[in-house]
Chains A and B, each alone.
Chain A
Amino acid sequence: EAGVVQSPRYKIIEKKQPVAFWCNPISGHNTLYWYLQNLGQGPELLIRYENEEAVDDSQLPKDRFSAERLKGVDSTLKIQPAELGDSAVYLCASSTRAGVSSYNEQFFGPGTRLTVL
């Protein structure tokens, strides 16, 4: 079974430019997460989707960040315009949704390492 796929793996851009990251979750996983991982830190949740609905975007900086999950499968995270402080690793994860109170393992992709110059 294929894991979570992310592309590109690496991206270098100049500040003020736009950038987009793509994620393909594990087949059948209806919950999708985007995380931000700064250097030397643990991942922090940016946004969570249940199918195509963004059910938790409270930590997403909406002035420059946007995300979509068309048809409830693949997802794209966009930054426009990028700032120097956006340099980090952007992780995508997916899980099933067996029940409201049960824990469902999140499976992570390898991430996209963004460098903003």
Chain B
Amino acid sequence: AQSVTQLDSHVSVSEGTPVLLRCNYSSSYSPSLFWYVQHPNKGLQLLLKYTSAATLVKGINGFEAEFKKSETSFHLTKPSAHMSDAAEYFCVVSDDPDKLIFGTGTRLQVFP
């Protein structure tokens, strides 16, 4: 069975400082992994995806994530936070293109 654990329910950073959102996964197969972002009153938006190509994945808005099989992790990072990054972030695992298993989310707050 697949599952994903987001290690922090809330993360607070100051604008201009690095962002780290942690995600660990469990899967019997070689999974696909994703990060989605959800801004208030807006639909979930795909930030980036890992589908067994390069382990360091670059996404939109300066975000990137590194797939580490030995650690079963897929942490999301950004070198410098912007106020507009404040949102809910979901780590997602899938071994079936039509079945996404979402984590419980991490709320990112960015202070000026």
> Which residues in B have some Cβ–Cβ distance to A below 8 Å?
9, 32, 36, 41-46, 49, 51, 90, 92, 94, 97-100, 102-105
Contacts and interface: CB of A to CB of B under 8 A. Distances in A.
A108 interface: yes
Contacts of A110: 41-43
The main secondary structure of chain A at its interface with chain B is loop
A41 B105 contact: yes
Interface stretch (A14-22, A43-51, A73-81): A43-51
B98 A56 contact: yes
Contact of A42 (B94, B97, B98, B102): B102
A45 B92 CA distance: 13
A57 to B, nearest CB: 13
Interface of A: 3-4, 9, 31, 33, 40-45, 48, 56, 91, 93, 100-111
A111 B98 contact: no
Contact of B90 (A33, A42, A107): A42
Contacts of B99: 45, 56
B104 A3 contact: no
A9 B42 CA distance: 11
A103 B102 contact: no
Given A31-B98, A42-B90, A44-B102, A103 B44 contact: no
A104 B102 contact: no
A56 B50 CA distance: 25
